[in-house]
Structure formats: structure tokens, C-alpha cells
Structure 1
Amino acid sequence: MGSQFLLVLLLALCFSFASAHSPEQDFCVAIPEPNDAIFVNGKFCKNPEAVVAEDFFLSGLNIPGNTRNKVGSNETQATVNELPGLNTLDISLVRIDYAPHGLNPPHTHPRATEILVVLEGSLYVGFVTSNPKNRLITKVLVQGDVFVFPVGLIHFQLNVGNTSAVAFAGQSGQNPGVITIANAVFGSNPPISDDVLAKAFQVDKKIVDYLQSQF
């Protein structure tokens, strides 16, 4: 287990890209006067003379996350919000724990590609290509297997085993963002009109109302 954990960390470190930094927020509204501007695409930088080792350190990724929830999974993040030294480095890490038959629901990372390695258990994973084909590409992974989810595409992982599973993922962004599809569509605040969703999904509005009530 120790050597596998080290391998995951090395994979994450190798996941940094030499390309220009990608946006680190959902949008940036243009303004006419710079006096009204805010700092974007990262965070303000600490004085280099004040930097200490703790700025680049985070512990606790060896601790299993609590999977006692509706979907049976939990993510422990190591983004710039938890690890300040990641600022501007275009890289982050996440530990994902799965209960037996637990699911990391369909979601996207709008600002990052993800590479996932399975440490324990077996996972059915996949992603869907963009319109118009919407092709589903899937694979069953076991311990030591690696799979890549391209930036922005809907993807998921399902524990197909009867025991708990663990995976680590490196992401090509310090703050990759996440949009969980069901939560965004049926749990938006305020809710999307059931007329819109009923027509989009080609179902009765009562079904939409029920799904919205779950969130």
C-alpha cells in the first residue's frame, strides 16, 4: 500500500502541463475601469521571503473519507484551497473513497483533465463525448489500473465490487471545479422551470417535480 501511495503522488506531480494557465473561475466579466477590477485566475501571492514548508504540505490523504451518504462515495481534495503552494502550478489531487457499490455520480470538471489510478477494489468508469455523437466510453478498472477523463467531459465511477474501493486522481488545474449533473439540473437554486426540464427530458412534469424534490 505504501509503494502504491507513493506512485500516485509521483503521477500527480508529473501531471503538470507546460501550456498557459487555464481559467480558475467560472467567468470573468469585463469592466471599463481597472479601479473596479479584482484579481483573477488564481490567488494573490505571498511574499517569497515569508514562504515556509507548511505552505507546500498537506496531510490526511491516508484517512478514508466518510461514504455514508446517498451515493456512497466521498472526495478528499488537495486543491489550492487546501494546499496554498499549488497556486499557479496547474495541478491538484483528490482521494476518492467508495462504499460497496458506491457511485461518484456523473459530473464534469470545467477546468481540468483528470487521470485516475485505482489503489483498492474495482471500478466501472466512463465518460461521454460531446455532441452530436455522445459516445459512451467505459472500462472496468482493477488495482493498479489508470484511466483518463478529458477536460470538460461528463464522467463517473461506480464501485462494482462488494468491498470498499479507493482511487486517487491528479487534475490539470489548481482549482478544477466540479459540476455534478443531477445536482445542477434538478437541484439548482432557484429551480429550473419544470416546463423546461420536462421538454428537455421528454417526460411528464410530475417526474421532474419528483426529481427536483430529491435535492
Structure 2
Amino acid sequence: MKNKSVEQIMAELRVPFKDSELEYRVGATNRDKTMGLALAYVEARAIQNRLDNVIGVNNWRMSYKEIDGGFICTLSLRIEGEWISKEDGAQITEFESIKGGISSAFKRVASSGWGLGRYLYDLKNNWFPIEKKGNGYYFKVKPIISGNERIVPEEKPEIKPVSVRTAVNPLKPSKNSYKPFRLTFGKYKGLALEELYVKDRGYFMWLVKNGKSTDVVKACREFVERFA
């Protein structure tokens, strides 16, 4: 593989991942447990593929050290003939505790030490419909992000956005909790607004501006103000 400078290697390692390489977990939820914040993360395999492609399979290696309740991962890259090592750790996980802890430690050092997927921490999180399965919540549809921008048309009505910092309690104080609203007309008849927001964002925003039913427009605006 052709020799690359440190700057070139770091730039290539930090290129955003494709949507297909990302996974999502549910962060904060609304009071009704119908919507959740989508927190994106990159899988270990995608990171490994990136390292192979950028510096070559013979120019990176990793090792692990077990600590009390978790693991420390050392990720070393050979750059300009010199091995450079970074370390980070993670606790064991509830699911597949040992394997999960090792994988988490690897992903953490890849991000904190070498910048792979670090941009994901700066993304503005979106709300998506969720459902309960077992002891946790899962998204009804796979969320999608686009670079560092939210997938919301620029013609979004002028309303105060919900701050990510207050996402633990995303709804504004109200005596009545949010009640899902379903369309009673058109090609999306019977679809809830949160489902329409994910399925056809353009049509949703068209309803906000051009809807003939005051009830629909009011419901759309309330949804956007609370969750978008």
C-alpha cells in the first residue's frame, strides 16, 4: 500500500460512515413511550473494514487487558513506519457481557483515539416511533441520518426546537400528554403522524403549510413542536 502522511490517514479514517454501516439505539423517550431519540453508533466490523482499507491489514493491531468489571483495548496503527498506540475501555455489557465489553472497548478507542465515528457524538438527534419488546424499546423503522444535518425540510414552520440537552424530558409542561393523531383521508389514511413523519417527511411538511383541516394542521404543528 502506498505510504500516506499522518494527515491523509487521519482524514480518511474520519470520513463519515454510510447509513448502512450505522446502528441505532433508543435514547430518551417521550411520556407516552411512543417516540424515542435515535442515537447512532457504528459497528465494530465497519471500523475494522475502514482500518483495512485506509492503512492495510498489516498496519493495525489490537490487544485487550481485563480490568475490574470491563476491558481496556489498545489499538495500534503503523504510520510512517512507527507503531502508535491509543487506549480506552468499557464495562461488560448486559447482553453477551464479555463479547459486548470487548467490542465496546474497541469501538471507544477507535473513536476517542483515532476519530472513527467521533462525529456521531455531535449529531442532532431525531425522534422516531418506538415499540416495547421485552425489557427494552426498539424503533419501528430504522432511523436515517444525513451527515451532520437533520432530515427536516428547510420550510419547517418557525417554532422553538427541542434542545437535545433537555431530551430526558422532551415534552413541554402540559396537563395533557401527547395523543397520537391519525389521518382520516388521502393515500396515508389511517397512518399516525409520527409514522407519516418518518415515511414521507415532505408530505408531512406540506400538510403543515397547506392542510385544509384545522385539526390536521394543529396536530402536525404540535407534533413538530414537541418532537422535531
Q: Do they superpose with TM above 0.5? A: no
Q: Which has the larger radius of gyration?
A: 2
Tell which has more relative contact order, 1 or 2 (C-alpha 8 A, sep 6+).
Answer: 1
TM-score for the superposition, normalised by structure 1: 0.22
More helix by percentage: 2
